[in-house]
């Protein structure tokens, strides 16, 4: 029987082989290397019906716990937004600046002296934004990565996330979890012609420019700092979430040194560990699919994608992107 190399049809529970493009055994969820149709052909029997499956109800419960544990988030008085023009769906692509003022009226920069913020901000200038240009990672930059991971792992939010993933048999120890975070987020891969020019962290938080357009760039702190410098110009927003406190969610249009972002969704006012933790949760639990969460009683979905062209460890995948799905 012929089976397609990138499909699980007829391959459920097939033993792992490194020659396979993707995998269909129960371990593939843990290693994030399942074929895209694994859930169609190999469920609900097997992994998802076992005790360590991550169910939709689990995701709603743990996301509320992480939301409540975001003690480092901005208070309502810490951030004042000026959203101005709300673009309709047929206006988001026209690259017209309909908001004369900046998005941020005020940010209390004392926030940035908190350890997770300070260690996060140090990472933002470590990248060449153009894809196709090799990243030169210095010893100091590696120390900054380790320091960021050390600081976020001190927070109750990340401890709760680890405890959840440990209980679900995804990791055997905190050390294993931290080592995997470093690879999945900071491990380099090529979006260009073989140059090690990208990583999940660079794409999602710092932002990249590819083929003349802004790619990734989903972080409010990065946006604020660049808007303050005058290199980011806010154009409009197409979605403003229902929250009356932080973290809030915006879908926005902007240019970065003349490069345009048609819809860049972002959490506003959350701590770095909140975004980092939620995106990690969704990448581990629902890679390549919408990950449905609950934050303060409101529904929200995150989309993640794995980088499919290279792997690390035992066939594990890097993060290609992660972002809030704005309606």
Active-site positions?
203, 218, 261
CA distance 240 to 86: 9
Query: For residue 206, what is the DSSP state?
Result: I
Query: Do you find a cis peptide bond into 143, omega within 30 degrees of 0?
Result: no
Burial of 217 (0-12, 13-18, 19+ CB in 10 A): buried
CA distance 325 to 327: 6
Query: Do you find a cis peptide bond into 247, omega within 30 degrees of 0?
Result: yes
Query: For residue 110, what is the DSSP state?
Result: G
Would you say 240 and 42 are in contact if contact means Cβ atoms under 8 Å apart?
no
For 47-103, strand residue ranges (E) read 79-81
Buried b (16+ CB within 10 A) or exposed e, 67-86: bebbebbbeeeebebebebe
> Residue 314's CB: how many other CB atoms inside 10 A?
11
**DSSP calls for 258-315:** TEEEEEEEEEES--HHHHHHHHHHHHHHSTTSEEEEEETTEEEEEEEEEEEEEEETTT
């Amino acid at each position: 029987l012929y089976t397609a190399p990138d499909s699980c049809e007829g391959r459920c529970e097939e033993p792992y082989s490194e020659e396979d493009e993707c995998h269909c055994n129960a371990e593939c969820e843990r290693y994030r290397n399942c074929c895209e149709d694994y859930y169609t052909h190999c469920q609900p029997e097997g992994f998802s019906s076992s005790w360590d499956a991550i169910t939709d109800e689990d995701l709603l419960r743990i996301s509320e716990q992480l939301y409540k544990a975001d003690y480092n988030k901005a208070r309502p008085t810490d951030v004042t937004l000026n959203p101005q023009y709300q673009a309709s769906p047929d206006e988001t692509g026209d690259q017209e600046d309909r908001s004369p003022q900046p998005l941020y009226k005020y940010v209390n920069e004392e926030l940035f002296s908190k350890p997770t913020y300070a260690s996060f901000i140090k990472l933002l200038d470590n990248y060449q934004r153009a894809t196709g240009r090799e990243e030169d990672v210095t010893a100091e930059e590696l120390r900054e990565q380790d320091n960021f991971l050390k600081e976020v792992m001190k927070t109750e939010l990340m401890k709760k996330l680890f405890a959840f993933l440990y209980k679900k048999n995804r990791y055997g120890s905190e050390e294993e979890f931290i080592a995997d975070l470093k690879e999945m987020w900071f491990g380099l891969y090529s979006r260009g012609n073989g140059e090690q020019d990208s990583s999940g962290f660079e794409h999602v938080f710092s932002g990249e420019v590819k083929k003349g357009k802004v790619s990734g760039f989903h972080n409010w702190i990065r946006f604020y700092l660049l808007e303050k410098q005058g290199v980011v110009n806010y154009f409009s927003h197409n979605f403003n979430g229902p929250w009356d406190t932080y973290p809030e969610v915006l879908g926005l249009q902007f240019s970065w040194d003349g490069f345009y972002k048609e819809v860049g969704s972002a959490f506003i006012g959350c701590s770095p560990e909140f975004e980092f933790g939620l995106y990690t949760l969704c990448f581990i639990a629902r890679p390549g699919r919408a990950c449905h969460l609950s934050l303060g009683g409101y529904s929200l979905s995150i989309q993640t994608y794995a980088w499919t062209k290279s792997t690390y460890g035992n066939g594990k995948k890097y993060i290609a992107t992660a972002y809030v799905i704005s309606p």
